[in-house]
Amino acid sequence: MKKRIVSLLLAMVFTISTFSSTVFAAEHADINYSEIEYEHVDPAEFYKVTDLVITQAADKNNYSSVESLISKLVDFWYRVNTQYTLAVILQSKDASDATYNEEYLYSFNLDTEILHSLADTLEIILESPCAGTVYDVLDESELTYILQQVDAGADDVELSSLMSAEKEFINQYYKTANKEYTAVVNGEAMTLDGIKNAKLPEDIYKDAIREIHKNKNSALGEVYINLVKTRAKIARLCGYESYTDYCYENTYFRDFTSEDVTALSTLVKEYIAPINKKLNEIITNIDFSSLNELDYSPETLISREKGVIEKEFPELLESFNYMYDHGFYDIGADDNKADTGFTSLLLDYNVPFMFNKPYGDFNDVWILVHETGHYNRFFISRDILPMLELSEIDSQGLELLFYDFYDDMIGDDKCTDLLKIKLLKSWIRSIIDGCMHDEFQQIIYHHPDMTLSQMNQLYYNLCLEYGYTPTSGYSDAELGESYAWTETIHNFTDPLYYISYAVSMIPAWELWMQAQTDFEEAKERYLQLVNREQADTYMQTLSDLGFGNTFDEATIKELAHSLGEVVDGIELKKVEKPVFSDIANHWARDSIEALADEGIARGTGDKKFEPDKSATLGMYVLMLGKAVDAEVVGLKLENSVEDLTTNYSLYIVWADANNLLTESGDASPSSTITREELAVMLYKYVEQTGRDITVTESEKFADSNQIDVWAKDAVSFVEESKLMYGNENNCFNPQQIATRAEVSSVIYRLDKLLC
């Protein structure tokens, strides 16, 4: 079978490194994207040359002529492939344009046809007296790539018909997925839009939504069952017991096995899923709305990214500047664009092109960084055979190395924490979802006779095992069935592909961990990875660069520990940004809002702060403790009055242990504090930090005689250090109960004083 030849050549890739490439110079074309025009290629010339080269190759004397003819053929394929990529870009720019659609289909078919024909021709030449010419013309990865395209079923009627059947079912999938589905509500068939607009009672609404998804699931499920059965037959015919193993080896050329991934999935359920669950609980209490107010216009983002690259990643500047200066990108907003983002290589020019349809929200920030990682790799290595798992580290690794520069990317450091939480969530999810989708498919391909209902149950149970709650619109809790998996296109079109994103995220996070202690070293390791040889494989490359083994428990435990710490950090920072309705004209507004932004000041509920209400000792120590990052264990996420009371007590214990309270006062969290007591506690805190607290004047205020003896120095100190002020009559009012606004402003000033 031809497949064997492919494997043989793949093996050669690792041992022979003396191929030379005579077809292409490695330079990048000096051209602007706007100067490039799409061309409808006629293949006639290609076939003429094909016939000629096959005839000539029979005679060794034609060696040099055969060599130049092969060059012509390869050149031709690169030209066709380039036109295909251009057609993809044009079609993505205007998904509604029928001409682009036609050209896209034409060039896709032509590319496939020419590549297969080229592969068949090269196979013939490789068995001729002129075999050496093939190695003269093509370098190792080019040859590997081309020969992989040999249709494994070309000379096997049964396999060939199974493969066309698979293609046919994929076409059926697209048709079935694009149909409109309905649910019967009060005897009337309604579409999804209809249901959403009908203002139905909640239970009827929910049932209707579920019915639509169930109907879609039954239609798509039928197609899927056919696909699974066909794929199982393909695998068996090629000597594999399960399609999973066939696919891992022959579609993705992975150097790890399905058993490795099964072990990883178990670890991810145990260590990573609980962290995700915790993060989700925290996220429900966070108000992300201020993230929506930022400027995400493509021009702004790309110029900010340029700034970060110039400063922090000068190594990426050449590829970035080429893209920027020559216009090899399109990330502008346009309704006609297809909903997609990608980076592809235009082979003829040896230049990649970046495309994205922006969401107009924070997602555009990471997508730009992600695609920049791909762009740079394609730019420095004409990678026609990207190993998916490694290629995703180019992109995800860059996203994670950008961690400390996202404030520059969004131009607002107040929202950076919010953005990072969103990113963290997607990073963790790529690990979990990758494993979950792989486990789901592995089990099905192992039991290709499963019914749709069994598949739905399997997915439902996996959701629970991975810590997700199946959403009611997509599942039936009584039956224990989920319909959501048929919404994932890759289950149909690219089986077992998702795991690549999980196994790339694990080393990418390791880069993040390293960057926390040594950014330059982490970046250096990332660049080494990006500069890998085209034929390098996942396990070997990572091991050479000293990364942990993705499938080892120790690696996942370390990853979980690090992710857990970041999540705990968010929990304690409480980055929610409350907006208070009752401080608009209050003198302490700026301090209160600044502290609220940092999660230090909390409202009294119902969007109120009640600034003129008496402060409590609990409030003071909690704000002080948070402002100075006190190390207090056992703190709760402040979701309820009970949680808050627990935290008050914990901070009081901390304050007491550090001698930060007054000696006389009541140490219960709900007790009020006088202004002089507040002064004393501030004084004690500053004293404890080792700062200079000598005071010069002790009788400054008109009502100094009312200040208790034990508070005199403290009051002078807070006045001189501008932590507290007297009123317009120069009275300090030492016995007055401090208000919430006063405590907020002193904490705010203390924070400024100490930093």
Q: Which amino acid is at 298?
A: P
Q: Which residues bind Zn ion (CB under 5 A)?
A: 395
Q: Residue 500 CB, nearest distance to Zn ion (Å)?
A: 9
Per the DSSP assignment, residues forming a β-bridge with 616 are 672
Least distance to Zn ion from the beta carbon of 374, Å? Answer: 6
Q: Within 13 Å and on the Cβ side, how many CA atoms surround 7?
A: 11
> How far apart are CB 375 and Zn ion at their closest, in Å?
11
Nearest distance in Å: CB 433, Zn ion: 14
Minimum CB–partner distance for residue 602 and Zn ion (Å)? 40
Q: CB count, 10 Å around CB of 359?
A: 13
Give the residue from 664, 701, 657 showing the smallest Cα distance to 680: 664
Cβ–Cβ under 8 Å, residues 459 and 299: no
CB of 343 to Zn ion, least distance (A): 8
Structure tokens at 162: 């199974």
Least distance between Zn ion and beta carbon 341 (Å): 9
Question: Of the two residues 474 and 497, which places its CB atom closer to Zn ion in the complex?
Answer: 497
Nearer to Zn ion, 356 or 475 (CB): 356
Closer residue to Zn ion, CB minimum distance, 238 or 508: 508
CA distance 711 to 717: 10
Q: Cβ(80)–Cβ(41) under 8 Å?
A: yes
Q: How far is the CB of 494 from Zn ion (least distance, A)?
A: 13
> Distance between CA 739 and CA 525 in Å, rounded?
54
Question: Which of residues 372 and 395 has its CB atom nearest to Zn ion in the complex?
Answer: 395
Beta carbon of residue 595, minimum distance to Zn ion (angstroms, whole number): 40
| Residue 498 beta carbon to Zn ion: minimum distance, rounded to whole angstroms | 12
574 Cα distance to chain centroid: 22
CB nearer to Zn ion: give 104 or 375: 375
Identity of the residue, 100 or 253, whose beta carbon is nearer to Zn ion in the bound complex: 253
The helix (H) or strand (E) run that includes residue 12 is helix 2-15
CB of 366 to Zn ion, least distance (A): 11
The nearer residue to Zn ion, 397 or 548, going by C-beta atoms, is 397
d(CA 6, CA 3): 5
Residue closer to Zn ion by CB (options 217, 344) is 344
Cβ-based nearer residue to Zn ion, 217 or 430: 430
For helices 617-627 and 675-688, give the axis angle rounded to 10 degrees.
30
Q: Which is nearer to Zn ion, 386 or 625 (CB)?
A: 386
Query: CA 718, CA 742: separation in Å to the nearest integer?
Result: 13
Nearer to Zn ion by C-beta: 340 or 531?
A: 340
Q: Closest separation between CB of residue 56 and Zn ion, Å?
A: 43
How many angstroms separate the CA atoms of 755 and 752, rounded?
5
Q: Which is nearer to Zn ion, 500 or 550 (CB)?
A: 500
The answer to whether the beta carbons of residues 271 and 556 sit under 8 Å apart is yes
How many angstroms separate the CA atoms of 505 and 373, rounded?
A: 14
Full DSSP string of 430-456 = HHHHHHHHHHHHHHHHHSTT--HHHHH
CB-facing half-sphere around the CA of 390: CA atoms within 13 A: 31
Give the shortest CB-13-to-Zn ion separation in angstroms.
23
Q: Say how far apart CA 710 and CA 449 lie, in whole Å.
A: 84
Give the nearest residue (CB) to Zn ion: 395
Q: Which is nearer to Zn ion, 141 or 395 (CB)?
A: 395
**Residue indicated by tokens 């140490």:** 667
- Residue 504 or 514 with smaller CB distance to Zn ion: 504
Longest CA–CA span in the chain (Å) reads 116
Q: Are 434 and 501 in contact (CB under 8 A)?
A: yes
Write the single-letter amino acid at 670: S
Q: Which is nearer to Zn ion, 107 or 381 (CB)?
A: 381
Cα–Cα distance, 489 to 275 (Å, whole number): 27
Minimum Å gap between C-beta 496 and Zn ion is 17
Please list, residue by residue across 69-105, b when 16 or more beta carbons sit within 10 angstroms of its beta carbon and e when fewer do.
bbbbbbbbbbbbbbbbbbbbbbbbbbbeeeebeebbe
DSSP 181-226: -EEEETTEEEEHHHHHHTT--HHHHHHHHHHHHHHHHHHHHHHHHH
Nearest distance from C-beta of residue 493 to Zn ion, angstroms? 17
Q: For residues 538, 539, 544 and 547, what is the CA-based torsion angle, rounded to 10 degrees?
A: 100
CB atoms within 10 A of CB 186: 9
C-alpha triplet 733, 661, 715: angle, nearest 5°: 30
- Minimum CB separation of residue 487 from Zn ion in Å reads 21
Nearer to Zn ion by C-beta: 121 or 395?
A: 395
Looking at beta carbons only, is 19 or 320 nearer to Zn ion? 320
Instruction: Assign 3-class secondary structure to 263-322.
Output: HHHHHHHHHHHHHHHHHHHHHCCCCCHHHHHCCCCHHHHHHHHHHHHHHHCHHHHHHHHH
Tell me the closest approach of the beta carbon of residue 530 to Zn ion, in angstroms. Answer: 13
